[in-house]
Structure 1
Amino acid sequence: MNITRTALILLTLLPTFGFCQNLDSQVDKIYQVKDNAPGISILISKGEKILLEKQYGISNLDYDIPITNKTVFDIGSIAKQFTAYAILLLEKQGKISIKEPAYKYIYNLPRYQKGNPTIEQLLNQTSGIKEVDGIAGMADLTKNDLLTQSQMINFITKITSLNFKPGEYFQYTNSNYILLADIITKVSGKPFAEFMQEDVFEPFGMENTIKKSSSYTIIKNRAIGYIEDEGDFYKTHLHAFIYNGDGQVLTTPKDIFKWHLGLQKVKIQHPELYKKMHTKAKLNNGNIIDYGLGVEFETHNNYQAFGFDGMILGGFVSKYLYFPDLDMMFFTTQNTFDSDFEEQFFQLVDLYIPNNNFNNQAKNNEREKKVKLSKKQLKLYEGSYLFTGSDVESIKINTIQLKNDELTVFTTDGDEITKLKPIGNHQFMFNDKLVIFDLKYDRKSYKYYDSENELPWLFKEYNPTTYNEKQLKEFEGQYFNADFQISKKVKLLDGILFVFGRNGAWKNDIEPLYKDAFNYSSDLLTFTRDNNEKIIGLKIKGIVFEKV
């Protein structure tokens, strides 16, 4: 940073820093918590000084216990930072190399046809290993069921295919970090929770941080997680999740501050470790992604920042963000699931960090200008398209039709979603996302790029299928998966096909999509046939059930 630029930044920030004591009321306006409602805990620092530490709301609604600076929160995926640091610590000690294949330490990890992910690719979320969360659901397990490390590893290692060749795309999954936890246990010779306590939390002085390893553990000052529905709050706390690596860490804002300060010391004492952790990863094609080793990168008000988010359906939302140019850190954590938390978080940041007009390095990502296509050319793209979902995304269906000389995307109910703007070479803009069509003579398709570095969603043209009752009865039967020792029963009731799980306790109706394919709670369920067209099994999320 040159002297002139530094001076300009400081001059910009001086009014804010000079009146920090007057910002309390403005912070209160952002976080207006109702009486007898879950709340939030906040910490803001500059350098080694805490600028603001505030709490709002109730940590336990049963007993009307207020949130204090000692209340511990489940911080969700922010725990991945600790897992990444633990792996790099073991590497610094000469016990592993992150360039090694992960199967060297996880013996039952499949040898994948598309390639074998390295430990580093687990860390930077480019392994291609499928997300485990939905697989647990297919195994008839809910958020109230005990989910252990061995169960989750079993789910992950029983899926023998990858979503893509390792290093080809970025895809965030919890599976990667659950596997890393097993590597830490194997290499260190200690249970994961014990290693984290003795080798990470205690050296950083994090006295009020714990890795949950039992659903029966007493955790002092623990906040309970909630979700709001029509003005009422309900407990959604995930007491029974005790697996490792991707979350299940409870802490306080003050301990996150200690973690943050500790990382600054690591930067000085072990610069190579710090640099590995805080360097953006690179894909096989050379593209750089906004993810390091347990670190997410973003830009706000034209300042570079990095940190991590944690959002879990158990009712907790947290965000840790550090602006290195300003040496400012922001952390908020709350015990109610709220999708608007990020908007509030950045309103808080904006009180302290004004827009940096002296460092406006935003790139102009404007696509090619719109091109003109004839009606005849546009009609080539019309059709009904289906994305059959993935382990992280649900089924999506739309129809593309020409309307007023523009290609328009509609829902299956006929509601308009957007208009496609042609930019050339079978490429269109779907709002601010790129789609690329492939006009094969037998079956048209298009790829939707949510991000250029992530696996695109493939939409294929399809013809919706309908069945009569006689045809639907053909799918009835009992289906069994030996790996997980679970079964699904398919039965026709009043003209509707249902899938029963959990020994008949649950049932979900399934809607036909195309031949032998059904929508099963927004996941794709496909039936398989033998050479004689006899149904012999079904498949959901890569899990195969044989008909018995």
Structure 2
Amino acid sequence: MIKKLTAFTFLTLLSTFGFCQNLDAEVDKIYQVEDNTPGFSIIVSKGEEILVEKQYGISNLDYDIPITNKTVFDIGSIAKQFTAYAILLLEEQGKLSIKEPAYKYINNLPQYQKGNPTIEQLLNQTSGIKEVDGIAGIADLTKNDLLTQSQMMNFITKMTSLNFKPGEYFQYTNSNYILLADIVTKVSGKSFANFMQEDVFEPFGMENTIKKSSTYTIIKNRAIGYVKDEDNFYKSHLHAFVYDGDGQVLTTPKDMFKWHIGLQKIKNQHSELYKKMHTKAKLNNGNTIDYGLGVEFETYNNYQAFGFDGMILGGFVSKYLYFPELDMMFFTTQNTFDSDFEDQFFKLVDLYIPKNNFNNETKNSGKVKKVKLSKKELKLYEGSYLFAGSDVETIKTNTIQLKNDELTVLTTDGVEITRLKSMGNNQFMFNDKLVVFDLESNKKSYKYYDSENQLPWLFKEYNPTTYNEKELKEFEGQYFNADFQISKKIKLIDGKLFVFSRNGAWKNEIIPLEKDAFDYSSDLITFLRDNNNSIVGLKIIDVLFKKI
């Protein structure tokens, strides 16, 4: 059922659309590019009508090839929508149920102690399965190395523990969708690339869309990805990433328009499939998250919208967003990495969608009622705290001190970060985030809630440690992980400890944090001892290495 607009809003929109033909110059201002630089390809539609389709800049700087409406871009994680649709299509055909445990369809997937994620929990990113990207990094693989589906599956299935009980939190990982691609392959009897081509792209009329499956495949009209360093552009294209499910799809804005229109037809022809895909998921506690099955939800100008973002360090950024109340779709893609791309994207949206002042919801003022604590009470929270990092976050440290009757959070170098505002019951506001302290355990700690529906960061009190050269020498040795067939050599050079990787080709200094724990390029490396206090191994993001 289409929502009714107020008369004023409808007339405002009608006026805006009436001037669409005069917006070209305004769009051009947003997407100005210099000569011989990467650029953009964009499309805006209302219903089945394309309002604007434009291209700017160069797709290949080596050969000065302009971006055209046939240029294909790597759209990164937007590809997860296609994977989610593929799973739901197989369910529609009676070949699986998303309520089933994922291990039923995935060879070697562990049956975890915390519970077995369902296919649906893979789809809505609540499975608890660890992110594979960090594991690949520990295995000394970079964006220039060949990364295949079998490699990534090996990494994922060798991780035998979950970050949390399935359904307890939302945690976005690529691992979930790599696993889903394996399910598509097993259930369909086709390679993932062939299934996507024959059962998704072709039925939607997406003739310029391809799932990359080989480093050697010729992809017609492919844009090259770039990053900018000061005033120069450098190629950073991820040619060697050929695994499945989470990305590696190249397409054009016109084909994304066909995908969008096709989904609206699916809404009428297969309403249950569409509804599942576009319904916000719920956690075990009943909380609703802004994520469906391959779909992200957001609000802009007081209108509800859904779509997906795709950001690749290999040099591509894309965004697809649909406003169902207005039946308007926006898609932009570019072949240079830009972490601030949304500012530009929403400038485009603002040209076509006026602010809706009639759907304002009553919101809390956001003011926190501060609870006054005595100096004695505040001093209980003082200390140095360490977040040991995770498969998706780097390690973080800070110090909390009482200054001028306020708890002040400082960097380890003494620079003030913020001041905590007490809310009582061991709860404080860290800027606009909630932190909750535990003073009862053997070691003080606090949980930092970046989002109420995501796994909180656990900061534990620690004692910063330094070592002399003799003490550091104890950590030297060769360490090996049999599952991934990778080794790390640790050697003392000029009073500093270094980790040598890739047969000695790389080395990274490790910095002491506390006893047996070091900062290893923003990951935590922890040394393990036996009952005789001898070092027998080390651990990085739960990957164990035995000293040999």
**Same fold (TM > 0.5):** yes
**CA distance in 2: counterparts of 1:433 and 1:357, whole angstroms:** 28
SS of the counterpart of 1:463?
A: coil
**CA distance in 2: counterparts of 1:244 and 1:512, whole angstroms:** 38
Deviation at 1:355?
1.1
How well do the aligned residues superpose, as a CA RMSD in angstroms?
A: 1.2
**CA distance in 2: counterparts of 1:81 and 1:470, whole angstroms:** 55
Q: For residues 252-292 of structure 1, what are the alpha-carbon distances to aligned partners after superposition, in whole Å with 9 as ceiling and x for unaligned?
A: 00000000000000000000000000000000000000000
Structure 1 match to 2:321: 321
Structure 1 residues 369-448: aligned runs within 5 Å: 369-440=369-440, 442-448=442-448
Structure 1 residues 184-195: aligned runs within 5 Å: 184-195=184-195
* CA contact 2:383–2:399 (8 Å) conserved in 1: yes
**Pair 311,424 (structure 1): closer, same or farther in 2 beyond 3 Å:** same
Deviation at 1:12?
2.7
Structure 1 residues 243-392: aligned runs within 5 Å: 243-361=243-361, 363-364=363-364, 366=366, 368-392=368-392
**Pair 151,361 (structure 1): closer, same or farther in 2 beyond 3 Å:** same
**Pair 451,3 (structure 1): closer, same or farther in 2 beyond 3 Å:** closer
**CA distance in 2: counterparts of 1:374 and 1:14, whole angstroms:** 60
Structure 1 match to 2:546: 546
**Pair 332,2 (structure 1): closer, same or farther in 2 beyond 3 Å:** closer
**CA distance in 2: counterparts of 1:142 and 1:236, whole angstroms:** 12
**Pair 3,481 (structure 1): closer, same or farther in 2 beyond 3 Å:** closer
**Pair 243,342 (structure 1): closer, same or farther in 2 beyond 3 Å:** same
Structure 2 match to 1:179: 179
* CA contact 1:302–1:362 (8 Å) conserved in 2: no
**Pair 31,9 (structure 1): closer, same or farther in 2 beyond 3 Å:** same
**CA distance in 1: counterparts of 2:34 and 2:523, whole angstroms:** 38
Structure 1 match to 2:199: 199
Deviation at 1:60?
0.3
* CA contact 2:3–2:325 (8 Å) conserved in 1: no
Structure 1 match to 2:119: 119
Structure 1 match to 2:455: 455
- Residue 135 of structure 2 corresponds to residue 135 of structure 1: yes
Deviation at 1:309?
0.3
Structure 2 match to 1:529: 529
Q: For residues 353-408 of structure 1, what are the alpha-carbon distances to aligned partners after superposition, in whole Å with 9 as ceiling and x for unaligned?
A: 11100111263272641222222222221111110100000001111112222211
Structure 1 residues 152-167: aligned runs within 5 Å: 152-167=152-167
**Pair 221,2 (structure 1): closer, same or farther in 2 beyond 3 Å:** closer
TM-score (normalizing by structure 1): 0.98
Deviation at 1:517?
0.7
Deviation at 1:305?
0.2
**Pair 20,98 (structure 1): closer, same or farther in 2 beyond 3 Å:** same
**CA distance in 2: counterparts of 1:384 and 1:18, whole angstroms:** 61
**CA distance in 1: counterparts of 2:529 and 2:442, whole angstroms:** 23
Structure 1 match to 2:59: 59
* CA contact 1:214–1:242 (8 Å) conserved in 2: yes
Q: For residues 471-498 of structure 1, what are the alpha-carbon distances to aligned partners after superposition, in whole Å with 9 as ceiling and x for unaligned?
A: 1111100011111111110000000000
Paired AA for residue 9 in structure 1: T
**CA distance in 2: counterparts of 1:329 and 1:4, whole angstroms:** 18
Structure 2 match to 1:72: 72
**Pair 163,362 (structure 1): closer, same or farther in 2 beyond 3 Å:** farther
SS of the counterpart of 1:518?
A: strand
* CA contact 2:524–2:541 (8 Å) conserved in 1: yes
Q: For residues 179-209 of structure 1, what are the alpha-carbon distances to aligned partners after superposition, in whole Å with 9 as ceiling and x for unaligned?
A: 0000000000000000000000000000000
Structure 1 match to 2:222: 222
**CA distance in 2: counterparts of 1:495 and 1:211, whole angstroms:** 50
SS of the counterpart of 1:103?
A: helix
SS of the counterpart of 1:454?
A: coil
How many residues of Structure 1 are paired with residues of Structure 2 in the alignment? 548
* CA contact 1:478–1:488 (8 Å) conserved in 2: yes
**CA distance in 2: counterparts of 1:170 and 1:417, whole angstroms:** 27
- Residue 38 of structure 2 corresponds to residue 25 of structure 1: no
Deviation at 1:71?
0.5
Which shows bigger deviation, 19-28 or 1-10? 1-10
Structure 1 unmatched runs, 5+: none
SS of the counterpart of 2:358?
A: helix
**CA distance in 1: counterparts of 2:102 and 2:59, whole angstroms:** 40
Deviation at 1:425?
1.4
Deviation at 1:86?
0.2
Deviation at 1:8?
3.5
Deviation at 1:33?
1.3
**CA distance in 1: counterparts of 2:396 and 2:466, whole angstroms:** 18
TM-score (normalizing by structure 2): 0.98
Deviation at 1:22?
1.8
Deviation at 1:515?
0.9
SS of the counterpart of 2:420?
A: strand
Paired AA for residue 416 in structure 1: E
**CA distance in 2: counterparts of 1:348 and 1:424, whole angstroms:** 44
* CA contact 1:304–1:324 (8 Å) conserved in 2: yes
**Pair 2,527 (structure 1): closer, same or farther in 2 beyond 3 Å:** closer
**CA distance in 1: counterparts of 2:368 and 2:396, whole angstroms:** 27
**CA distance in 1: counterparts of 2:370 and 2:50, whole angstroms:** 50
* CA contact 1:8–1:358 (8 Å) conserved in 2: no
* CA contact 1:5–1:358 (8 Å) conserved in 2: no
Paired-residue identity, %: 84
**Pair 362,242 (structure 1): closer, same or farther in 2 beyond 3 Å:** farther
Deviation at 1:456?
0.2
**Pair 243,404 (structure 1): closer, same or farther in 2 beyond 3 Å:** same
**CA distance in 2: counterparts of 1:354 and 1:435, whole angstroms:** 37
